[in-house]
């Protein structure tokens, strides 16, 4: 009985730690960007109305969920919720939160985004344990990865980013532990959130092939890609008359940006302190150190997944994303988190060995 209570207490402590990390991460992100209120091309109110520019208007999962809840919520409850002005009082940039036309849906999305961050951290710790078999390193790395979200959100941060990372984490969990066919419904939901899930699916192939034969992998894998493409086409057709483009083109601008050494020395305020921004040399060196220290010790499918994600991400980053948008390297989120967990595990094992000696 005592051992059972002790185990429950451990779970509660872990949940509390992850909850605190998630709350700090969400606060850091929302303080920095809110939901891009009143921005002409991609403000939350524009996306809710379906009038935002392409490709931002394509990210419809949370707006549709919020509008569905709004439609089926009694007016008395909505008035009660809207009477609470915590968001607009605490975050001065969250101007749309007090607009009567959007206040309720805004608050729904606010809650959902936090839940996505919390669920991502929780599930990520489980995924990291699957690959490192070190519970302490997995929890620590999960909290670190989640706390890095506001740091990753340079230049911009959007409400559909945390759900994207959650879906990527779910994808890795399915590829590692569960039935491959679960990728099909995930592809539809995740693509409705952001079209990047189409590019994420190939990163799971090495893991799937480590569990299934090629014959058993090909049909569900191709089907997941096919469903993602279909969802992409449906969304793009629905907003084909909106201003903007299917994909933005910043190739020449980015080429000049990344060739300028001064751009690797940029800084910005995150968590109210001055920190390296985007591809600052400090961030690059830390990432390279972690990759170099763990590359040989992580399993081959994760190394292959990392290479696929990097191969896809770099051309997209240079061609279609705005300068230094580190968050658009999100295909690397889970593989890098695994490397962070492995790095912490190596430190723990090294210290344990020194203690024994």
Question: What angle (nearest 5°) sits at the alpha carbon of residue 336, between those of residues 345 and 351?
Answer: 15
Q: Please give the pLDDT value at position 354.
A: 67
Residue 1 clears pLDDT 80, i.e. is over it: no
* Residue 348 or residue 124, greater confidence: 124
Residue 298 clears pLDDT 90, i.e. is over it: yes
pTM confidence score: 0.94
147: closest CA among 340, 328, 351, 13? 340
Residue 268 clears pLDDT 80, i.e. is over it: yes
Residues 269-294: pLDDT tens digits?
999 899 999 899 999 999 999 999 99
Q: Please give the pLDDT value at position 150.
A: 94
Place of tokens 């305020």: 269
Mean pLDDT value across residues 108-118: 97
Displacement of CA 161 from its chain's centroid (Å) = 5
Mean pLDDT value across residues 107-129: 97
**Cβ(157)–Cβ(29) under 8 Å?**
yes
Residues 137-193: pLDDT tens digits?
999 999 999 999 999 998 889 999 999 999 999 999 999 999 999 999 999 999 999
Q: Please give the pLDDT value at position 248.
A: 85
Q: Please give the pLDDT value at position 126.
A: 95
Where residue 36 falls (left for φ over 0; alpha for ψ -120 to 50; beta otherwise) is: left
Q: Please give the pLDDT value at position 350.
A: 74
């Amino acid at each position: 009985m005592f051992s059972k209570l002790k185990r429950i207490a451990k779970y509660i402590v872990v949940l509390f730690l992850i909850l605190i990390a998630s709350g700090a991460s969400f606060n850091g992100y929302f303080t920095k960007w809110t939901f891009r209120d009143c921005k002409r091309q991609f403000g939350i109110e524009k996306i809710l109305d379906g009038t935002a520019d392409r490709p931002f208007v394509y990210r419809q999962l949370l707006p549709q969920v919020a509008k569905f809840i709004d439609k089926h919520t009694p007016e008395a409850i909505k008035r009660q919720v809207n009477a609470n002005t915590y968001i607009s009082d605490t975050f001065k940039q969250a101007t749309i939160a007090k607009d009567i036309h959007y206040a309720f849906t805004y608050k729904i999305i606010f809650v959902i985004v936090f839940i996505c961050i919390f669920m991502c951290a929780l599930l990520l710790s489980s995924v990291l344990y699957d690959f490192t078999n070190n519970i302490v390193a997995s929890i620590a790395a999960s909290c670190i990865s989640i706390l890095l979200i506001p740091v990753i959100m340079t230049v911009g941060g959007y409400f559909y980013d945390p759900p994207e990372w959650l879906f990527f984490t779910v994808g890795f969990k399915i590829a590692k532990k569960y039935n491959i066919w679960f990728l099909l419904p995930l592809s539809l939901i995740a693509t409705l959130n952001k079209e990047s899930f189409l590019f994420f699916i190939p990163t799971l192939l090495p893991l799937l092939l480590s569990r299934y034969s090629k014959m058993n992998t090909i049909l569900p894998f191709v089907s997941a890609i096919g469903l993602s493409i279909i969802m992409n086409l449906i969304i793009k057709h629905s907003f084909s008359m909106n201003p903007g483009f299917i994909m933005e083109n910043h190739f020449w601008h980015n080429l000049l940006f990344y060739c300028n050494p001064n751009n690797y020395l940029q800084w910005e305020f995150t968590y109210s302190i001055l920190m390296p921004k985007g591809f600052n040399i400090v961030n690059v060196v830390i990432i390279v150190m972690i990759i170099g220290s763990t590359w040989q010790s992580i399993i081959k499918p994760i190394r292959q997944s990392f290479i696929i994600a990097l191969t896809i991400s770099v051309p997209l980053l240079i061609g279609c994303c705005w300068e230094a948008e580190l968050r658009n390297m999100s295909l690397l989120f889970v593989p890098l988190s695994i490397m962070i967990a492995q790095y912490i595990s190596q430190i723990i094992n090294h210290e344990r060995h020194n203690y024994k000696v």
